[in-house]
Amino acid sequence: MESDSPFTYWVRHGETVWNVLGKYQGNHDSPLTALGRQQALISARFLRRGGIRRLYTSPMRRAVETAAVFAEVLGLSEVRADDRLREIGYGQWEGLTQEEVRSRWPEQLRAWKRAPHLAAIPGAESLQLTRARLLDFSRDPTHWSKRDDGVAVITHAGCIRLLHLEQRRTGLAAFRNIRVPHASIWPVAMARHFQSSAAPILNKEPSTCASQ
């Protein structure tokens, strides 16, 4: 790990209405639940002493609402939205429950569960394309130019999984093996090459639904 690498914290958004209903969200959206806002508050308070001076967020509503809680708790006046941080697009599955998907695309759903890096979800963004835009954001030196800047990034479960796999030099086949609970915090040292811990530092109860 490079000694002058600034530390960042990647955070999943809080629980949403569609999470409770078990719907795939992707690039569609729903608001945080009361529990989701409480999850965001707990995580933001956890980072209050983390020296966070910059806050980035996915432009999705659930992430923006989570970031607003962080900004208030951390005393930050600016939140920077970046389209590269949005969730994986699930195409025609968005807005549907897993049972609804199974009834229409049983073979594709089976492939998604067994080999997600090879699955062909109708109209969806591939894991490879999502990873490429995340790496483009993560390697942008303008984000990490100040050594004393702590950075928090509010994003989605799929994005955190992909970044974590990249850091561990693990193939995309393991995508579904990583559990990313709502509002969990994942520390990452940004450098020329990624380095991170093997697990989040704040890991809440997992979501009970299959969607992201």
State the sign of the Cα–Cα–Cα–Cα dihedral 197, 202, 207, 208: positive
Specify the pLDDT at position 190.
61
Closest CA to 181 of 29, 40, 25, 21: 40
Q: Compute the distance between CA of residue 173 and CA of residue 131 in angstroms, rounded to an integer.
A: 13
- For the cut 50, the answer to whether the pLDDT of residue 207 exceeds it is no
Q: Annotated catalytic, 87?
A: yes
Annotated catalytic residue: which of 15, 65, 87, 125? 87
CATH topology of domain 7-196: Rossmann fold (3.40.50)
* Residue 203 Cα to chain centre, angstroms: 13
Q: Cβ distance 211 to 25 under 8 Å?
A: yes
pTM score of the predicted model: 0.87
Annotated catalytic residue: which of 13, 143, 156, 164? 13
Q: Cβ distance 147 to 170 under 8 Å?
A: no
Q: Annotated catalytic, 193?
A: no
Specify the pLDDT at position 50.
81
Instruction: Please give the mean pLDDT across all residues of the chain.
Output: 86
pLDDT in tens, 48-106: 988 898 999 999 999 999 999 999 999 999 999 999 999 999 999 999 999 999 999 99
Q: Compute the distance between CA of residue 141 and CA of residue 40 in angstroms, rounded to an integer.
A: 27
What's the one-letter identity of residue 143? H
Specify the pLDDT at position 51.
85
pLDDT classification of 211: cutoffs 50, 70, 90: very low
pLDDT in tens, 121-152: 999 999 999 999 998 998 887 766 555 568 99
Q: What is the mean pLDDT of residues 167-186?
A: 93
Q: Cβ distance 78 to 90 under 8 Å?
A: no
